[in-house]
Structure 1
Amino acid sequence: MKSLSTSLLLAAGLIYGLPVLAQNNAPQEGVNVGKMSIMRKIVPSGALEGQAAQQYMQTMQTAQQKRELAPDNHPQVIRLRAIAKKMIPFALPWNPRAKEWKWEVNLIASTQINAYCMPGGKIAFYTGILDTLKLTDDEVAMIMGHEIAHALREHGAERAGKSMAMSGAAKLLGIFAESKGYDGNMVAGIAGTAGNVAMLKFSREDETEGDIVGMDLAARSGFDPRAGVTLWQKMGLVNQKAPPKWLSTHPAGEDRIKEIRKHFPEVMPLYARAKGVSLANLPPYRSNVKGIPDVQ
């Protein structure tokens, strides 16, 4: 496993001329998703990143033992790391901690349609998502940007903090109910269930935020954010039996596409600038799968 050099990334940041950090740890132009949730402060980020690094290492070691970890010279590993190398410099302004992360990108042989970025910049793709969806580089960048956004916005720490707060509130409600002569355990259980439903909503919001920030990262890196539309159209073709929207941690595909399109005015100028062409001269984005229309 090779770690992308932090010093190289910082140097690249100077070359690309990254914008000064805004008060909400986001670039001054492009998308605006506001400040990060204060709930993430309940769980120390450093501790979560340490746990993530250990878990990531164990996952890679297990994959290597099973001969499922793609070697450094695998064409798809080279491809993924090249895309990450372009994107990571633009990720740094979103979170000051990202400058200290030991970024890694690895590929695991599996039919799973999955990819993730753990706190601390530990990225993994599964061959299933590359092969099943026949991903273009632009679509890979949209997925990678989305997953990196989760780490940058500290969604893991935020969810852990919210979960702890929900659990504590349920217990307090149970104690209060007992003081009033009610069944405290039953009340706490009902409150806990309601909390779990609320957490699903929080997760969907995190997924939407990941899409939006991921678009920004992809566009700045020279990858077409319109690929987010074709990506979710492809996902819809292989995910016909999705769970009901209100019980899913992910927004429905059509909702994601609408949200992605809504932010084109913010990100397409960034993409055009990265490609060195005028916005008016950008050709439509063309999918590599028949039946999926061009995206204007």
Structure 2
Amino acid sequence: MKRTFVLLWLLPCIICAAKLPTPKKSPSSQFAASNDEIQDLSEQLYVDDANKAGSGDITLNLQQNVSSSQTGTGTDLSSQKLFSYVNEAKLFTRPTFAQLISLLDNYIQKTGTVESVTNEEIQEQNAFIDGIFQTTVIKKLSSFLISKGYYTSVENFKNDLREMWFGLYTRAKGCLDSSGFEHVFHGEIHKGKISGFHSWVQLYLLEKVGQINYLSYSSDGPWTSYPDVFAIQFKWSNYLKSVGSFFIGSSPEFDIAMYTLCYVTRPNRLCTVKMGGNTLKIQTYSWDNSSYGNAKKYLASSYPNI
């Protein structure tokens, strides 16, 4: 729903840069979930993503492929839009897609401004979380994490997922201006560049209304059906994303599940998952400057590392 300016937090906002923490390395033996178990589960999630796009639901126009040396130039090498077609009538009327889309206008583009959260927006967050927890994808993720001892119950996991993704923290010291969900699914402008922004739904919707200018792509994964994985270059207004990685055609619950699986089991490091027989690495980061609950860390970022 459209933002209203009812502030729940009135904190002074001091604009300053904040870097994502450096990934930490630890021996795999410390983890309750093994690498093979994570890959097996991710394969199941890939197969069970019932709300993903099917053949013909999305048509991409990739146009110019660029090398890594060209990705930071901001040169527009593609004259047409990335998305030639998306079956909105089929995909975006599905509950979790509709619930995701209702959240995307709740955020301020630039860091450094307090994110107000109205009662209506809290209701939208709860509806989205309730919606994804009704899907097979999240049910399987819940069962796995509980069986490995990360959580004691579905409700315990659900409450923690809400905090890790929607809990507010500051990327510009002095104001609650960010969250994991805003960073990953909405995207932010931080230090004059696009930061985060890994939702194909947000990418499509903003391109449709002329806010996104697709420049080129640098990586196309081996998948021939959806979800697929791409790395692209684009501008949001006049701000550049030199390399942005996306699941394309996935459902919102699949994105949340894959990122949460890796964040909970392999925080602050690369996490190897498997989709359709092909492996993929997902990078996760925690926000180490503040915490919630029993010293738990908010999710700072998560994305396909391609």
TM-score by length of 2: 0.32
Query: Normalized per residue, which structure has more strand?
Result: 2
Which has more radius of gyration?
A: 1
Query: Normalized per residue, which structure has more helix?
Result: 1
TM-score by length of 1: 0.33
